Amino acid sequence: MIKQLREGKGLTQEELAQMADISVRTLQRVERGETPSLETSRALAAALDVSLAVIKGDSAIPDHPPRDAVKHVKKLRGFYGHLAQYVIIILLLWMINLWNSPSFLWAIFPTLGWGIGLLFHAIAVFDWWPQRLRGLRSQWEKREIERFLNKQKTKP
């Protein structure tokens, strides 16, 4: 793992050893698979600009995850925030409704309306669209991208 990281950054063993303030011999042993001390691991992590977990081999998550993964996690965070807002506000509305006018359950309207919006948000985030609709969505996206690019070409 250390060797791949070092080579990926275009460093020689001597350069990395100097950056990490360890001996070349220690670096060679670590690259051959010997378990480094905690101090050596920290020095290598700092020199290679990665987390200690990456050096130890404990992390399946890279320091710079792919953009798609980051985008997906941001969508999930947005959905869960939306869900939390829904639960809190709808509960408050129901309490107000039952306290002030228990004979007319008006809170059902925002519950259903907002609930439908939340359902569509979940469908989009968790990709629950039927296969046939996914194809229509991707075709529409391609058309819109082409339309946008054509507008950009015609602008002076």
Residue type at 99 in one-letter notation: W
CA 43 – CA 37 distance, rounded (Å): 10
Tell me which CATH code domain 2-56 carries: 1.10.260.40
114 Cβ contact partners less than 8 Å away, ≥ 6 residues apart: 86, 89, 90
> pLDDT for 87-115, tens place per residue?
999 999 999 999 999 999 999 999 999 99
Give pTM, 2 decimals.
0.48
Place of tokens 């690019």: 149
- Predicted confidence (pLDDT) per residue in 10-67, tens digit: 889 899 899 989 999 999 998 898 888 889 988 888 888 888 888 877 655 555 567 7
Domain boundaries, the chain: 2-56, 67-154
Tokens of 143: 């058309």
Higher per-residue confidence, 27 vs 84: 84
